[in-house]
């Protein structure tokens, strides 16, 4: 048998408004209308599961920057190769 601990939370007007908006959005996505307690539980689980999202986004940004730099090196190398080929063709045509 699981025993659940209960917690009482006080919310100011703005926090309550945020909770109500979140509750409405969750209601649109679920078949059963969630109550405020379920909404708070969802928010806690969501926050816990996505806590490192900012770090992941930063890591992805750095990885993208690295890939873009590599891509630019490839483009530059290709242009240099293309220039050499054109010069060689031009020298053969003369």
pLDDT at 72: 94
The domain ranges of the chain are: 11-51, 53-94
12-19: long-range contacts at Cβ-Cβ below 8 A with a sequence spacing of 24 or more? none
Q: Please give the share of the chain, as a percent, with pLDDT higher than 90.
A: 40
pTM score of the predicted model: 0.49
The answer, yes or no, to whether residue 30 has pLDDT greater than 90, is: no
At 79 the pLDDT is 95
The angle formed by the CA atoms of residues 43, 45 and 51, to the nearest 5 degrees, is 90
């Amino acid at each position: 048998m699981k025993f659940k601990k209960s917690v009482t939370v006080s919310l100011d007007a703005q926090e309550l408004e945020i909770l109500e908006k979140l509750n409405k959005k969750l209601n649109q996505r679920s078949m059963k209308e969630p109550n405020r307690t379920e909404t708070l539980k969802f928010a806690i689980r969501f926050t816990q599961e996505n806590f490192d999202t900012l770090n992941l986004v930063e890591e992805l940004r750095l990885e993208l920057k690295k890939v873009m730099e590599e891509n630019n090196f490839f483009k530059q190398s290709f242009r240099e190769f293309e220039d050499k080929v054109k010069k060689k063709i031009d020298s053969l045509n003369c």
